[in-house]
Amino acid sequence: MPYFYPHKGGSQKYAEELYSHLLKANPGEFQVDVLCYNTDQAPRQEKYKGMRIYRIPCWQIISGRFALPKPWSLVKTLYDFSQNQYDFVNAHLTFFDPTWWGWIYAKLIGAQSIFTEHVASFPVHQNKLIQLVSKLVSKTIGRLSIAFYDLTTVTNKQAMKFLKNEIGIKNKINLIYGGVDTDFFSPQIDKKRRSIPIIKKELKKNDLLITFVGRLIWTKGVEQLYQAIKSIESQLPANVYFVLAGGGELENKLKKLISQDKLSERIFLTGSLEYNQVRDLLKNSDVFINPSHHNEGFPNTILEAGACENLVIATDNGGTAEIIRNKKTGLLISQKDVGAIAKSLLWAIKNHEERKRIAKNLRKVLKEKYDWQLIADEFVISLSQTELSTEKDATSAFFIN
């Protein structure tokens, strides 16, 4: 896949967690190599969570959204990889170029091919021409390529509908949900001593922390979130604080707005956080909000916040409604609706006991059905049920691209 660790994003995190838990649960049975593009100036080769990562020099066509490899480096690496006797090649996302050639490479090296779709809509961008081109690419070369894969999987039901109804895929599709490590992401038992990572602001026991974690880009809804906070600021108790965690093109704009509106004691920007820092922030938070109108799949941050027993407020987007049931496991709101965001925030602030009850419900569901170890086991079962197992040796080698 083009993007992988250290790049932050949902599909990359899905692949990272799925395969790292696969390796953890089946020592000696699997080997996983990752081919990605060097979008973050990372080492050309690296061992990470038991996987070997190989990064190809690339061109960033749309920064952080779409990259293409330098052809000679890609061809050379694929030739070297052909000696590794891979059993499976797993490509991700219709719109990315590895999906277009991954099935061909698998056939050339005698491996089985797996395609995984994460999102439930075509790419969303402010530039309408980019949106149109991405849609055309997905419905032509994307659809043609997916038809040749031996196994097609999706991470949520809405992605399955998207493949069938919008892309026109006729393949049998297996549902392998996204998951969360419910041991790593767990509630903070002692709320007496809390602080916000990077900012180092200390919070009191009765302070209420509302958090957003994600890229600060247009499609993630952070501008609507800011407008909603500003619209209700005069109604908020003094002990309510907001954190917008992440980097992106809107970071400087938000800094100026916060300063201009004199909200720097209420709203905090952290910039990009490391994974452990995200975990610590969510453990110290009470409410998590995902106001996205991005082309979402099964958002990782919702699962991670829910596992930390945050009340989750999220837009009805992608597969979100498959886990967030309104007033049962979270609050589900419409997209691009400043009023709905504001109303949900006020409800969460005023309804302390209901907020905690709903948050506990979500944590329980995640632990019972969406823990990564359960998901990894389902993936292995899916492979065996579709008769993809090979008989080369006791070890199955996966190649993610």
User: How confident is the model over 213-237, as pLDDT tens digits?
Assistant: 999 998 999 999 999 999 999 999 9
Task: Give the CATH number of the domain where residue 298 resides.
Answer: 3.40.50.2000
Whether 42 and 161 map to the same domain: the answer is yes
pLDDT at 394: 46
Q: Are 71 and 220 part of one and the same domain?
A: no
Q: Is 189 part of a structural domain of the chain? A: no
In a domain, 157, yes or no: yes
Looking at the fold, whether 129 and 39 belong to one and the same domain comes out as: yes
Q: Do residue 229 and residue 355 come from a single domain?
A: yes
Whether 360 is covered by a domain: the verdict is: yes
Mark whether 362 and 395 lie in a shared domain: no
pLDDT of residue 198: 86
Residue 253 lies inside a defined structural domain of this protein? yes
365-377: string of b/e by CB count within 10 Å (b at 16+)?
bbbeebbbebbbe
pLDDT of 395 reads 60
Between 65 and 256, the more confident residue is 256
Residue 62 lies in a domain: yes
- CA dihedral for 123, 125, 128, 129, sign (positive or negative): negative
∠ Cα 271 334 293 (to 5°): 45
Phi, psi of 278 (to 5 degrees): -60, -45
pLDDT above 70 covers a percentage of the chain that reads 96
Instruction: Decide: residue 141, CB within 10 A, 0-12 exposed, 13-18 middle, 19+ buried.
Output: middle
Residues 89 and 159 in one domain: yes
Co-location of 276 and 301 in the same domain? yes
pLDDT digits (tens, 9 = 90+) for 40-99: 999 999 999 999 999 999 999 887 788 999 999 999 999 999 999 899 999 999 989 999
pLDDT > 80? residue 389: no
In a domain, 1, yes or no: no
Tell me the pLDDT tens digit for each residue of 2-26.
999 998 888 899 999 999 999 998 8
- Mean residue pLDDT of the chain comes to 91
Overall average pLDDT of the 270-292 stretch: 94
The tens digit of pLDDT for each residue in 97-155 reads 999 999 999 999 999 999 999 998 887 777 788 878 888 988 999 999 999 999 999 99
How many domains does one find in the chain? 2
The pLDDT score that the predictor gives to residue 386 is: 61
Within this chain, do residues 388 and 343 fall inside the same structural domain, yes or no? no
Residues 384, 267, single domain; the answer is: no
Q: Does residue 337 share a domain with residue 231?
A: yes
Domain presence at residue 72 = yes
Question: What is the C-alpha R_g of the chain?
Answer: 21
pLDDT at 391 over 80: no
pLDDT at 257: 96
- Among the ranges given (18-27, 197-206, 252-261), the one the predictor scored with the smallest mean pLDDT: 197-206
> pTM for the full model?
0.88
Residues 225, 160: one domain?
Answer: no
Same domain for 211 and 105: no
Q: Which domain holds residue 28?
A: 10-179+371-400
Contacts of 71 (CB under 8 A, 6+ apart): none
Q: Which of 339, 245, 230, 337 is nearest to 285 (CA)?
A: 245
Residue 5 domain flag: no
Amino acid 169: pLDDT: 93
